[in-house]
Amino acid sequence: MLDSTVPSIRSRARRLVGARIPVVVLAVLTAAAMVGPLFAPDSGSQDLRNARAGPLSPGHLLGTDGYGRDMLARTLEGARISIFVGVASVALCLLIGGTLGITAGYWKGRIDAGIMRVMDMVLAFPTLILALAIAAFLGPSLRNVVVAISFSTLPHYARLARATTMSITQRDFVSSSALLGAPHRHILWRHIAPNTVSPLLTYALLAIGMAIIVEASLSFLGLGVQPPTPSWGSMIAEGRPHLQGAPHVALVPGAFLFMVILSLNLLADSLRSGAPAAGLGR
């Protein structure tokens, strides 16, 4: 009795931690980021008399920063930026990288060689360094951060899409469709693209976390969203000088960043190992 129940409880717990808790954390945070700024105090209102108030001070649940702005409001505002950058850059990558990869994997030959050599060139630079260079070159703005992150992570999507496409193209149902006289358009849209989507989406979930970290890094270095718009990275940077006296200014956005990345990674892990998300394995 005990023998049979113990592992099941344990595996259940693992599944719970593996998928449900991260989902709840992310859902609550996303909801808070969307509606929170409506209720929390104005994130922009400065009150220098009340600067760096500690957490749980009256009217400021998470305290205030160096300009006396409410930390909770700013953190939620920052969450919006992080979520937007994460989702937008990954969506852009899925679209462009997916298309490039599928094109390369399906047509092979010169088209493949051409696309993939360019991707290899991009891949030769460390992601963060390349994103930094692009962001610095384009000038700091929300849109440019998205462009910088998308461009520097594009090869990963293209490679994954290409590999998946190549293995799907080998499968009988694709040859079968071709032997029916189906045009390439039909094969690409009806057979290849739908079967490439799920491995790409699984990867994308993990990549959102990556994109959020890169965004935070760029903002930390002052190359991201410009003040006074709050971003987790720039908030941590602002709090850095006060780590001694008012650690919460840096720690609050840091903790949120940590929580989001951990949740996304756990979720991606559970998707990869649990559900046959790839949709290809039989």
229 sits in the region (left: phi over 0; alpha: psi -120 to 50; else beta) called beta
Least separation in angstroms between CB 201 and another protein = 14
Under the criterion CB under 8 A, does residue 172 sit at the interface with another protein?
Answer: yes
**Segment 220-279, which members bind another protein (CB under 8 A)?**
279
The verdict on 109 binding another protein (CB under 8 A) reads no
Residue 167 binds another protein, judged by CB under 8 A: no
Q: Give Cα separations from 150 to 35, 90, 145, 204 (angstroms).
A: 27, 7, 8, 12
- Exactly one of 114, 194, 227, 241 binds another protein (CB under 8 A); which one? 194
- How far is residue 95 from each of residues 88, 213, 277, measured CA to CA in Å? 11, 21, 19
Interatomic CA distance for residues 278 and 282, integer angstroms: 10
Q: Which is nearer to another protein, 23 or 111 (CB)?
A: 111
Instruction: Report how far residue 63's alpha carbon sits from residue 69's, in angstroms, rounded to the nearest whole number.
Output: 8
- 50 is a site residue for another protein (CB under 8 A): no
Instruction: CB nearer to another protein: give 24 or 278.
Output: 278
The CB-of-190 to another protein minimum distance in angstroms stands at 8
Residue 166 contacts another protein per CB under 8 A: no
Which residue is listed with tokens 């850095």? 240
* 39, 137, 173, 258: residue in contact with another protein (rule CB under 8 A): 173
CB atoms within 10 A of CB 100: 22
By CB under 8 A, residue 190 contacts another protein: yes
**Do the beta carbons of residue 148 and residue 135 sit within 8 Å?**
yes
Residue 201 within binding range of another protein, rule CB under 8 A: no
Binding interface with another protein (CB under 8 A): 171-173, 175-183, 186, 190-191, 194-195, 279-280, 282
